[in-house]
Structure 1
Amino acid sequence: MRFCLRILFFFLIGIQFYAQNSKIDYFKIVNDKSTIDKQYVFSEKTFSADINFVLKNDSVFKPFFKPFVNLGIYNKRHWLKIPLYNNSDITNFVYEFNQTNIDSLSLYLVKKKKVIRQFKEKGLYFHKNNTPAFLQNRYAYVYDINIPKQDSIVLYVKANVFDDSFKTMNVLWSKDNYKNREREIKIRSTYLVVFLGIVFLIILLSLAMLFFTKQKLYFYYIGFLFVVFLQITGVRYFISPILIENTLFFGNNFEEMLGFLVIFFVMHYTDNFLNLKEYYPKVSKATKYGANFSLLIFFLALFLRKYEWFYSFSYVFSKLFLLIISVTLYFFAYKLARKKKLMGYYFLIAYAPLMLFMGHFILTAMKLTNSYNPLEWEVVIFIEIIVLTIAMAHRYYLMMKQNSDYQKAIIKEQERGIQAMIEAQEKERSRIARELHDGVVQQIGSVILKSRSILAKMNLLDTKESREMLEMLENSNQDLRTISHQMMPRALKELGIVSALNDLLENSLGYSKINYSLEHFNIKERLPKKIEITIYRIVQELINNIIKHSKASEVSIQIFNTNNTIILIVEDNGVGFDKKISINGIGLLNISSRLDMVNGDVNFEPSPKSGTLVTIKIPLINS
């Protein structure tokens, strides 16, 4: 009896063991695209199993009936067992393994516990075996496999990943349908090339802004863009990751190494971008310390990268530290936005996708999520860079506008100073002219009358000496009268600009060898006092220059009003005007200063008469 019971016991154990090892839940292929959601997983830290071990030990595998396989960062070596049953009319398939940053990847086709085909090893360190299309394996590793109709096969996938979490989605395509996938990859690759071109262009523009502004903000932004550019070109195989790792001495975890540099540039950049030093000095100080600490970790990593423990540390620390920093700075950006600070709004928009992406990334690494990241790294970075570039351009515009307003304010103050000086000068001219006319001229006139009376009583009036003395006194008195009229002509004060110009020309050129003419049109009313004085002083300056330097024999002056603009034309037939020599002369500067007060402008050009033609325009509106 005992013997029978023992036989029964071992028989049941054997049946159970056989059932456990023979029961396989196959993934049934029914169409030309299938996302595999029935697979078995096995991860290990130290022991490196081979294909013979896993074929003999099915019990090490655990079922994973979900499309997104996430084994986190805890283990470095992983096996996938994917049983497939072809329930379709298709026999030629393409197996797509959707994780590109795998150090090594092996695929075995197994039937009835025997390897019927072993593919060449692929991965970062076997890049020569990777798919040559589309600049190698930019989006996935692919394998051509054949499964007969109504037949089964088991895929064994061995993946080693030392500097990232193991996360993948496995898709089985029909050979024909995979052509659509290839077209999609080409389109995405084109978008990526365009994006990288935009990033490169933004780097050049930022260099120009750095050159013109000399602000550290643009230096940190350029550093951030360059590191991101290097990251994307490495991840998407525009540049071989192995080349980056070996040439730049970044080791196997170049993404995390570059991540420390990203943190350094982003923190310094954000400190300047949000102007934290002004609004939150303590936060600004802590941000700078955090940035410099990240840079220190980067340099230490150059020596620590040879240790295996550092890979997990750098992976978690770089992502977690960036998330903490982003959340902290995001909070203060929110506070600035509450204060209606424009850069705070830009920061909130730019970093919202990044925070979502990094949060999901860390949850994936810690095996706390079984969903594929809905955001792609390139999309997140594209949004961030575009928004920040717009913000930088806006900031640059505001800075240039502020500088322009500052320059305008300085010019306005200078104009006010010049205007005050000219007004004071005119007041002083008026005072001196009044003192001369009402004082000195009148006194000299009295002296002449008294001298005549005294000389007449003494019978000396007709002598030569007396006549010469009286003539000198009268000439001096006439000169003083002329000077007083020129300093503040009575005709300008009482009759207007045309009469004043007539008197000016008669007194200045009437007794010279220079012929003159004055024409006026549409000057029916008195002009504003400021404009009349301006025109008179300018003509006075030009006439003095003609007398002293031009050697002219003819002078023509025209003044007229057209479309609420006073046009003054002064033309002579002299030797001409050398603008290069005279442009900085006191006379021309005086003319320009006076015209600035009335919003006028002046143009000097050669005259058809071989002399000089001066054209002055003064608007009556807003003068």
Structure 2
Amino acid sequence: MLYLILLAILSSCTLKDQKVRNMVPELVELKEIVCLVDSTDALEIEDVAKNPQLFKPYAGPELNYGHLRKALWVKLTFENKTDIAQKFYISSDQVILEDVRFFSKTAEGWNIEKSAWGLAASKKKTDSYLHAFPLEFLPKETKTYFVRIRNQYQVVRYPIHIFSEVQFYQHSNFYVFLDGLVIMALITSILYVFYNLIFSRKDRILIYYMLYAVNFLAFYAIRIASPTHIAEAHPPLLNYFVTIFIFISTYAFVKFGIRFIDPDKEDKHPIIENIIDVFFVLAILASLFPKYSDAQALNTIKLIFFTGSIAYLIWYMCMRFRKSLLSRIYFFMGMPLIVSGLVEGLTNVFGILKVPNQFFEAFRMSIVIEMLYILFAYIYREKILTAQIQSKLRETELELLRSKIDSQEAEQKRISGDLHDDLGGTLSTLKRLIFDNLIGNVKEIEANKIKKLTQKAADDLRRIAHALMPPEFEISGLTESVKELLKNNNSEKKKIQFLQHGKAHKLHSSIELNIFRIVSEIIQNINKHSKATKVLVQFIWSENELTMMVEDNGSDFKEAHSGLGMKNMKMRAEYIGGFINFDSNGLESTITLEVPINES
């Protein structure tokens, strides 16, 4: 949204002539604004005042000469439209101007007032870090003023405002307020990152964000905010070296952005990033020699690094836009700051673009909002990454469960087969030999005991084998297999009843088998640990869920809670996406298994 607002501001104001923005047009009128570039860099006020023919109109919406490195003279002629004396202020928000001199004609000659970047606001005639000068008019008076601007290191860009006295101080105080918001946002970001680096996640991405925020704070505090608070003037050379902070913060922001949107480095391009690293070092080295600030080769290196690194980040975001939610979040949250930073750099650092001053008025607010946006985006990113890690851990746990359950199933199938084929065959042979050779040689009572024991052994073997692996389970299905299991465990001392409610659904075979295993384990626990005489097993079907309930009148599962059987039941319930609950008071117990059908 902020990005669209910035674009709207740009598109709405670039076509207008804004060399001077007159905020009191009903009181004062700009009659003429013309410019002179002093190629000799030696003209004085008397020279330019006597040669008005040297001045030419500037072709463009706003006075912007880029890296001029020569004196620029601006001639301004105003008319007081009222019948009373008036006082106005001519002001420029381009605070990085290194030497500004304002000339006004008096009876004694030309009066000169000075302003400059780094000059303490208390040392100026107007107590503001803006380059502002008072204009005093008699009724209906027309006056001409001259402004001389000389920059060695910075862009010569001179947006002009005309205010009433009240308007000027409102405007100046508002800028101070915005500067305070920017610095507070930066400090808040730094403190948040510092806290997380020390006491929480030691994430490398936070180091890049810290580097970005600290350098941006240094740049903004020194270049923009400090003249309001200093007592002694800063040398213009310091303003030149501030550019290093811009390059460092740009580099750190690009590194932060890439790692933000692609934490797994899926689309990383090591060659391009290595090239950016090399040009970053070269840009820093090229910025260490102010003597060669006008060297084309060094400025080209700086420009390649600045535009290339930001272009790579924008390209990376566009490439990852459809692949990652983080990319889309960062695109909409970070793009306004990226674009506005790029425009600001190309305008005020390199002097390539010529953008109206309204953009830079919005830039301050953009920084405040975007710094907070990026913090919120990082917090949200951490939530997403944490959820992804938990999801991967969950998948790993489920894979381990799957492997463990598959191993158990394979082992139970093998044991069931061995019992049925080997021990079952041996027991049948033994039974036949006993009946053929032994029954006729013992008393009838003993023979009956032998028959009952051999039959019981065969029945127990069949029951155990069926419990391990029900024959034709996939054909008979869950309900019939459970009925068969309960039938095999039913006795006169322990009555087991099965009830089913609702319309049964066909579940995945693995889910049905695990439900059967849970029921089998419960019945085994009842047989081992319970004195129950009645057991009720219920299947309650709904559209979205199967609820299995096992109730008895004598179980106490305290002995079994830490046993392997209970752990297996919980493991199988978790594996099929269900939930199992044990409720026992020592006299009776209820076990409930809930299995979602939709997820099945």
Same topology, TM > 0.5: yes
The letter of the residue matching 1:563 is: S
1:503 aligns with 2:488: yes
1:617 aligns with 2:594: yes
Q: What corresponds to 1:141 in structure 2?
A: 131
Shift of residue 232 of structure 1? Answer: 3.4
Gap change, CA 1:31 and 1:439, over 3 Å in 2: same
Shift of residue 559 of structure 1? Answer: 1.1
Percent identical: 13
The letter of the residue matching 1:94 is: F
- Are the counterparts in 1 of residues 65 and 155 from structure 2 also a CA contact under 8 Å? yes
SS in 1 for 2:558: coil
Summarize the alignment of residues 157-176 of structure 1 with structure 2, pairs less than 5 Å apart. Answer: 157=147, 161-175=151-165
TM-score between both structures, scaled by the size of structure 1: 0.67
Higher relative contact order (CA 8 A, sep 6+): 2
- Are the counterparts in 2 of residues 107 and 155 from structure 1 also a CA contact under 8 Å? yes
Residue of structure 1 aligned with 2:96, choices 101, 109, 115:
101
Q: What corresponds to 2:240 in structure 1?
A: 253
Summarize the alignment of residues 298-309 of structure 1 with structure 2, pairs less than 5 Å apart. Answer: 301=288, 309=291
The letter of the residue matching 1:286 is: I
Q: What corresponds to 1:110 in structure 2?
A: 105
* C-alpha distance after superposition, 1:470-523 (max 9, x if no partner): 8578536624531431330589978542353243243xxx66xxx665352438
Summarize the alignment of residues 420-459 of structure 1 with structure 2, pairs less than 5 Å apart. Answer: 420-435=406-421, 438-453=424-439, 455-456=441-442
Summarize the alignment of residues 581-596 of structure 1 with structure 2, pairs less than 5 Å apart. Answer: 582=562, 585-596=563-574
Gap change, CA 1:309 and 1:610, over 3 Å in 2: farther
What CA distance in whole angstroms lies between the structure 2 residues aligned with 1:85 and 1:556? 105
What CA distance in whole angstroms lies between the structure 2 residues aligned with 1:566 and 1:59? 101
Residue of structure 1 aligned with 2:281, choices 280, 292, 295:
292
Gap change, CA 1:253 and 1:373, over 3 Å in 2: same
Summarize the alignment of residues 383-394 of structure 1 with structure 2, pairs less than 5 Å apart. Answer: none
Residue of structure 2 aligned with 1:151, choices 119, 141, 155:
141
Q: What corresponds to 2:501 in structure 1?
A: 522
* C-alpha distance after superposition, 1:348-385 (max 9, x if no partner): 966555555544446748xxx88756642863975987
What CA distance in whole angstroms lies between the structure 1 residues aligned with 2:514 and 2:150? 88
SS in 2 for 1:431: helix
The letter of the residue matching 2:245 is: L
The letter of the residue matching 1:520 is: L
Shift of residue 164 of structure 1? Answer: 1.7
Gap change, CA 1:533 and 1:106, over 3 Å in 2: closer
Structure 1: give runs of 5+ residues left out of the alignment.
1-26
Shift of residue 225 of structure 1? Answer: 3.8
The letter of the residue matching 1:237 is: A
The letter of the residue matching 2:592 is: T
Q: What corresponds to 1:567 in structure 2?
A: 548
What CA distance in whole angstroms lies between the structure 2 residues aligned with 1:294 and 1:74? 21
- Are the counterparts in 1 of residues 78 and 143 from structure 2 also a CA contact under 8 Å? yes
What CA distance in whole angstroms lies between the structure 1 residues aligned with 2:112 and 2:256? 50
SS in 2 for 1:125: coil
The letter of the residue matching 2:154 is: D
What CA distance in whole angstroms lies between the structure 2 residues aligned with 1:85 and 1:281? 62
Structure 2: give runs of 5+ residues left out of the alignment.
1-21
Residue of structure 2 aligned with 1:32, choices 17, 27, 34:
27
What CA distance in whole angstroms lies between the structure 2 residues aligned with 1:526 and 1:171? 78
* C-alpha distance after superposition, 1:519-556 (max 9, x if no partner): 52438979867666544532443344455556x56664
What CA distance in whole angstroms lies between the structure 2 residues aligned with 1:261 and 1:250? 18
SS in 2 for 1:251: helix
Shift of residue 258 of structure 1? Answer: 1.1
1:379 aligns with 2:363: yes
Residue of structure 2 aligned with 1:283, choices 269, 272, 287:
272
SS in 2 for 1:488: helix
The letter of the residue matching 2:432 is: S
- Are the counterparts in 2 of residues 234 and 244 from structure 1 also a CA contact under 8 Å? no
The letter of the residue matching 2:96 is: N
What CA distance in whole angstroms lies between the structure 1 residues aligned with 2:91 and 2:396? 66
Shift of residue 446 of structure 1? Answer: 1.8
Q: What corresponds to 2:13 in structure 1?
A: none
Gap change, CA 1:226 and 1:477, over 3 Å in 2: farther
Q: What corresponds to 1:20 in structure 2?
A: none
What CA distance in whole angstroms lies between the structure 1 residues aligned with 2:449 and 2:553? 35
- Are the counterparts in 2 of residues 78 and 158 from structure 1 also a CA contact under 8 Å? yes
1:577 aligns with 2:569: no
What CA distance in whole angstroms lies between the structure 1 residues aligned with 2:348 and 2:409? 73
Gap change, CA 1:161 and 1:232, over 3 Å in 2: same
SS in 2 for 1:603: strand
The letter of the residue matching 2:417 is: R
The letter of the residue matching 1:589 is: K
Shift of residue 621 of structure 1? Answer: 5.7
1:487 aligns with 2:465: yes
What CA distance in whole angstroms lies between the structure 2 residues aligned with 1:245 and 1:476? 110
Q: What corresponds to 1:324 in structure 2?
A: 304
- Are the counterparts in 1 of residues 74 and 147 from structure 2 also a CA contact under 8 Å? yes
1:602 aligns with 2:585: no
What CA distance in whole angstroms lies between the structure 2 residues aligned with 1:601 and 1:131? 78
Summarize the alignment of residues 53-72 of structure 1 with structure 2, pairs less than 5 Å apart. Answer: 54-55=45-46, 58=49, 62-66=54-58, 68-70=62-64, 72=66
What CA distance in whole angstroms lies between the structure 2 residues aligned with 1:287 and 1:102? 31
The letter of the residue matching 2:248 is: L
What CA distance in whole angstroms lies between the structure 1 residues aligned with 2:237 and 2:419? 86
What CA distance in whole angstroms lies between the structure 1 residues aligned with 2:510 and 2:266? 50
The letter of the residue matching 1:503 is: N
What CA distance in whole angstroms lies between the structure 2 residues aligned with 1:263 and 1:531? 55
Gap change, CA 1:335 and 1:541, over 3 Å in 2: closer
What CA distance in whole angstroms lies between the structure 2 residues aligned with 1:230 and 1:448? 100
Gap change, CA 1:616 and 1:387, over 3 Å in 2: closer
* C-alpha distance after superposition, 1:297-338 (max 9, x if no partner): 56xx3xx5xxx626656xx88875453235445766787789
Summarize the alignment of residues 69-218 of structure 1 with structure 2, pairs less than 5 Å apart. Answer: 69-70=63-64, 72-75=66-69, 82=76, 84-98=78-92, 99-103=94-98, 105=100, 107=102, 109-114=104-109, 123-129=117-123, 136-137=128-129, 140-155=130-145, 157=147, 161-175=151-165, 178-179=166-167, 216-218=204-206
What CA distance in whole angstroms lies between the structure 1 residues aligned with 2:448 and 2:483? 35
SS in 2 for 1:100: coil
CA RMSD, Structure 1 to Structure 2 (Å):
5.4
- Are the counterparts in 1 of residues 85 and 136 from structure 2 also a CA contact under 8 Å? yes
What CA distance in whole angstroms lies between the structure 1 residues aligned with 2:99 and 2:120? 7
Aligned residues: 552
Shift of residue 455 of structure 1? Answer: 2.3
Shift of residue 95 of structure 1? Answer: 1.9
Q: What corresponds to 1:4 in structure 2?
A: none
Q: What corresponds to 2:208 in structure 1?
A: 220
What CA distance in whole angstroms lies between the structure 1 residues aligned with 2:422 and 2:87? 112
Gap change, CA 1:194 and 1:612, over 3 Å in 2: farther
- Are the counterparts in 2 of residues 492 and 500 from structure 1 also a CA contact under 8 Å? no
Gap change, CA 1:547 and 1:271, over 3 Å in 2: closer
Gap change, CA 1:270 and 1:546, over 3 Å in 2: closer
Q: What corresponds to 1:11 in structure 2?
A: none
Shift of residue 236 of structure 1? Answer: 3.9
* C-alpha distance after superposition, 1:375-416 (max 9, x if no partner): 428639759879988997998788678656755654554454
Gap change, CA 1:342 and 1:184, over 3 Å in 2: farther
TM-score between both structures, scaled by the size of structure 2: 0.69
Shift of residue 278 of structure 1? Answer: 5.7
- Are the counterparts in 1 of residues 419 and 465 from structure 2 also a CA contact under 8 Å? yes
SS in 2 for 1:604: strand
* C-alpha distance after superposition, 1:256-283 (max 9, x if no partner): 1312313432564577679899675433
- Are the counterparts in 1 of residues 185 and 371 from structure 2 also a CA contact under 8 Å? no
